[in-house]
Structure 1
Amino acid sequence: MNVQTPVFRHLRGTLCGALLLPALGLLDHTAWAQGFTLPQQLIDATQEFLERSVSQYLERTSIDARHEVSVNRLDPRLRLASCDRPLTTELESPAQPVGRVTVRVSCQGSSPWTVFVPGQVRLYRDVIVAARPLKRQERLSATDVTLAERDVGLLTQGYLTAFEQILGHKLTRSLMPDQPLTPAHVEVAEVVRKGDQVVISAQSGSISVRMPGEALTDGAPGQQIRVRNQASGRVVKARVTGPGQVTVAM
């Protein structure tokens, strides 16, 4: 005889409820996943977009570099409507996919939305750094500098990658060992100094004239300096073309 006492019915109800709760929870989670765009979907879309953008940037600029892409974690409580179309992604800032970046992720479907996802692109290149302590006005030689790998996204003041950009130039400020050189750190060194004897050249068509002169100011190639014509005593403006060489217009 099957007799179910009140106590037995209570225990059966409790046991069935305990078994059903996990299943109900699973159904709730599935319904949530179907009704919303998960934060991980935004992260994955951003990661794929940045990887593709960096590869295209390196190919377009012919830059030899390695890169790392990371996307910031998003609040797991973020709830965006499920998108019935593929997500669209575009770089919001900066102009190039280097350094700290922000990607605009959008849904253009029946329930449109837009969210901005932050990330970081680390671009590692060999850049010129000081090999030893260097003083201001020091003229650079091959023993003063070396190449070292740096994340150029952090070098906001710029950087240099070729030795011919700096050898023979002079420093505008002092540098510490391993400090990257920037374009602002170097300037063309003077090849003519005040008091130097120079050759003044002037040319007009087939006519060429050369005369001795004295530099009254220092000058680097391409700069204009004051020069005294030793034959006439006149002071003229001349453009430095090389060591001991200047030209004037006729």
Structure 2
Amino acid sequence: MKNPSGFSTLLTMLSLTVGSVTSLAANAAISLDDLRNQVRQYIEQQVPEVEGTRWEIQIRGLDPRIKLADCPTPLAFKVSGNKPIARNSTIYTQCFSEQNETLWSLYVPTQIKKMQQAVTSVTSLSAGSIIEAKDVEVTYQDTFMLRNGFFSSTAQVIGSKTRQSVSSNQVLRKRSLCQVCKGEDVIVEATGSGLRIKTAGLALNNGTQGDTVRVQNKRSGRKINAVVVATGKVQINI
């Protein structure tokens, strides 16, 4: 059976043979809520479990006028077109008789959101604000909207300075903050061969964790490239 355009599940149901409909009508009905739950459980078995991530599964487009008869065997599910699970997947649902004959089938459109932990502002912050623990929280956000350049832990941003105004309930982006800010003092940590040396430096440009920034050693005046490892702290290898 071809997937009808526009996910018209009602038309799919109407394509059942008259004989099948008559036979099914005598059995107890499967509610649409039962079907939604079973489809959701099927999808949950297909998606990976990742720490700090959860999945939101929405069942869409089921016409409330659809009446499903009971199925003598467990319902069978597969992704339409034999494709991998994706953000918008249609789950092909089949009911088989005990003789393995198809009694009815149905296309169930779904939307599957991968939600990931991201640091979000609790209140609005003006440019130049120093972020405190009370200003931020971790929430789950749709990774489709997150893309790159966000933080997953509040420890990564506390003590940072906002480079631009931030609205309440807004995901904090790396471009919106500086953990090392131009013209401000930083700790320069030099590591290598089992040694760990710290000295004072001056940031010559802005950066967040993982960025390479220019730093001037306040003792020697030497300018070096260093990697931002935390708020107010950079690191070089020796």
With normalisation by structure 1, the TM-score equals 0.50
The correspondence of residues 50-65 of structure 1 with structure 2, limited to 5 A, is: 50-53=39-42, 60-61=49-50
Q: Which amino acid aligns with 1:73?
A: L
Structure 1 unaligned spans of 5+: 1-28
- The alpha-carbon distance between structure 1 residues 47 and 166, as it changes in their structure 2 partners (threshold 3 A), is same
Match of 2:134 in 1: 143
Match of 1:239 in 2: 227
Check conservation: 1:58, 1:64, Cα contact below 8 A: no
Residues paired across the two proteins, number: 212
Query: Which shifted more, 124-133 or 134-143?
Result: 124-133
Q: SS of the residue aligned with 2:214?
A: strand
Q: SS of the residue aligned with 2:23?
A: helix
Check conservation: 2:179, 2:230, Cα contact below 8 A: no
Structure 2 unaligned spans of 5+: 1-17
Match of 1:224 in 2: 212
2 CA distance for matches of 1:134 and 1:242? 21
Match of 1:88 in 2: 76
1 CA distance for matches of 2:104 and 2:32? 16
Q: Give the greater-gyration-radius structure (CA).
A: 1
Shift of 1:117: 1.3
The correspondence of residues 36-185 of structure 1 with structure 2, limited to 5 A, is: 41=30, 43=32, 46-53=35-42, 60-61=49-50, 72-74=61-63, 76=65, 86-91=74-79, 95=85, 102-107=90-95, 109-111=100-102, 114-119=105-110, 129-136=120-127, 138-145=129-136, 156-158=144-146, 163-164=154-155, 166-171=157-162, 174-177=165-168, 179=169, 181-182=170-171, 184=173
2 CA distance for matches of 1:72 and 1:125? 26
Match of 2:183 in 1: 194
Shift of 1:49: 1.5
Q: Which amino acid aligns with 1:50?
A: V
Give the aligned CA root-mean-square deviation in angstroms: 5.7
2 CA distance for matches of 1:128 and 1:197? 24
Identity %: 18
Check conservation: 2:52, 2:117, Cα contact below 8 A: no
With normalisation by structure 2, the TM-score equals 0.51
More helix by share: 1
Check conservation: 2:39, 2:77, Cα contact below 8 A: no
Q: SS of the residue aligned with 1:217?
A: coil
- The alpha-carbon distance between structure 1 residues 157 and 117, as it changes in their structure 2 partners (threshold 3 A), is same
Check conservation: 1:139, 1:171, Cα contact below 8 A: yes
Shift of 1:157: 1.9
